Amino acid sequence: MAATDLRGRDFITLMEFDREEVETILDTAHDLKRKWIRGEPHRLLEDKTLFMLFYNRSLRTRNSFEAGMTQLGGHAHFLEPDAVYTPALPGEEKAYSTERISDVARVLAEMGHGIAIRIYGKHTGWLYGKGNLLIREFARWSRVPVINMEDDMYHPCQALADVMVMQEKLGHHLQGKKFVMSWAYSGSVEKPLAVPQSAMIGASFFGMDITLAHPKGLDLDPKVLEFVKKNVKRNGGSFRIVHDMDEAFKGADVVYPKAWTAQPTDGKTPMDPEKAKAIFEANRHWITTGDKMKLTNDAIYMHCLPADRGMEVTDEVMDGPNSVIVEQAANRLHAQKGLMALIL
């Protein structure tokens, strides 16, 4: 499919798009951001409707989608989880507590132009991949595009915003820039793998030299790592894994330190909170400080938010001159507008 013809496509993971298509989305996002800054109307989705199903709470995702649809001339409906029951895969339904996804998806598709869903964690029993399967079940039955607003595997909308801010801060061509995706300590183990996995997937399209850093026992999905390895080779970048935060930070142009949990990725074994907690507590020193930032090549500091201040990162770094966390959050609006303008 040509990159200029994305209408009707589901957006569940960037792994299902090629570089030209990702660049088309980002180019559209940059263009719409410039129009927004200049105050130029860009009502490309006039009278169109997006239904948003949030099984997990949200600040940036909900408001960026709602504001984005308004600015594009459409409307976003926020649906409380209780309004549509608990989603279930085929064979899991209980008549008294669920409505089949096939029914919900087909009905909403008759009333609007897109369905966006966020679901992971406690709503899937911390069983890796179940949230993604639920979103794909919606997509199977919907005749309008389905957008993944974050599941337990992927957060592709965040990845678009991440690449956008790197292009703005480091130059549009990111070839050869060192991108560090690092684990960081948190007092909470309820941290899905979606952001670190999608951040690396996004960076892998643009020839970046990617370093993944984490303590042992916090491995990411082997299928995602294999995609990243192949994609960086295809696009002129590199990929390596280290288990030392200082080593990873040396010479970095971008650092993205964020907690994720010790999560089995076999799709059969749920997260063990006690095991995860033990690994977390043994690695409390994995925190981004001013001294660690001095190891970098004057790197920009990224985080998807919310960040655990004093655990993942110090205030000195988070509020410092190299922090681009606000720009990242702001670009959620523009990246998603670029996406919706092309697929809805």
In CATH, 157-329 is 3.40.50.1370: yes
Mean pLDDT of 97-110: 87
pLDDT value at position 138? Answer: 96
Side chain identity at 261, as an amino acid letter? T
pLDDT value at position 232? Answer: 98
What gap in Å lies between CA 67 and CA 62, rounded to an integer? Answer: 9
Report residue 291's pLDDT band, with 50, 70 and 90 as the boundaries: very high
- Per mean pLDDT, which range of 94-98, 108-112, 231-235 is the poorest? 94-98
pLDDT digits (tens, 9 = 90+) for 129-143: 999 999 999 999 999
- Residue 162 to residues 102, 107, 114, 179, 332, Cα–Cα distance (Å): 33, 34, 23, 11, 8
75-112 burial, b if ≥16 CB within 10 A, otherwise e?
ebbebebeebbbbbeeeebeeeebebbeebbeebbeeb
On the question of a common fold for 14-153+333-343 and 157-329, the answer reads: yes
Domain spans of the chain, in order of start: 14-153+333-343, 157-329
Contacts of residue 158, defined as CB under 8 A and 6 or more positions apart, other chains included, come to 150, 194, 195, 198, 199, 304, 332
More confident residue, 178 or 84: 178
Beta bridge partners of 212: 181, 241
* Residue 86 pLDDT greater than 70, yes or no: no
Mean pLDDT of 60-77: 97
124 secondary structure, DSSP code? G
What gap in Å lies between CA 36 and CA 342, rounded to an integer? Answer: 17
172 secondary structure, DSSP code? S
Of 341, 340, 342, nearest in space to 115 by CA: 340
pLDDT value at position 12? Answer: 98
Contacts of residue 57, defined as CB under 8 A and 6 or more positions apart, other chains included, come to none
Task: With H, G, I as helix, E, B as strand and everything else as coil, classify residue 309.
Answer: strand
Residue with tokens 């909900």: 62
Residue with tokens 């085929």: 90
pLDDT value at position 99? Answer: 77
* Residue 225 pLDDT greater than 70, yes or no: yes
What gap in Å lies between CA 257 and CA 272, rounded to an integer? Answer: 23
pLDDT value at position 245? Answer: 98
pLDDT digits (tens, 9 = 90+) for 8-61: 999 999 999 999 999 999 999 999 999 999 999 999 999 999 999 998 888 899
Contacts of residue 312, defined as CB under 8 A and 6 or more positions apart, other chains included, come to 184, 185, 186, 257, 258, 259, 287, 288, 303
pLDDT value at position 93? Answer: 66
What gap in Å lies between CA 84 and CA 132, rounded to an integer? Answer: 18
In CATH, 14-153+333-343 is 3.40.50.1370: yes
pLDDT value at position 82? Answer: 66
pLDDT value at position 88? Answer: 72
